[in-house]
Structure 1
Amino acid sequence: MRKLELSIFRELSVEGGLPKAATGRTPLIVSVGCVKTDDDHIQKGSGRRVQDGFLFVLCKLAELQHSSKALL
């Protein structure tokens, strides 16, 4: 019964998003270090500390070549 409920919930959530996507009103979550402007553009955030932290994470992942190694 649990899998059926989850399947129905997924189906309803997709169906609910289709009309919004057709009109361009889909909610958008932007990543850390970015901001969404009033005219729905995405720009880099002005927080230097957040940008430095985000850059550190990307450099560390590039250095280790795999995300699972970063957790060790």
Structure 2
Amino acid sequence: MKKHFKLQDLDCANCAAKMEDAIRKLPGVNSATVSFMTQKLTLDADDARFDEILQEAVKICKKVEPDCTILVK
């Protein structure tokens, strides 16, 4: 399953790269892209575990940049 999420308060391109790298290493993730320019996360992950993987991605973003939020609808 592939979904796009808006990022709020992502202030640094280097942080975006760190987040992307860490999210890609999560089990069940097929691909992940964090774009500093568009302030978006594109996550392609295992359908059965998507919500669990998304929660881990949220934790990673908070760890790398505490002010950044993934807007999950």
TM-score (norm 1): 0.26
User: Which of the pair is proportionally richer in strand?
Assistant: 2
Which structure is richer in relative contact order (CA contacts within 8 A, separation 6 or more)?
A: 2
TM-score (norm 2): 0.26
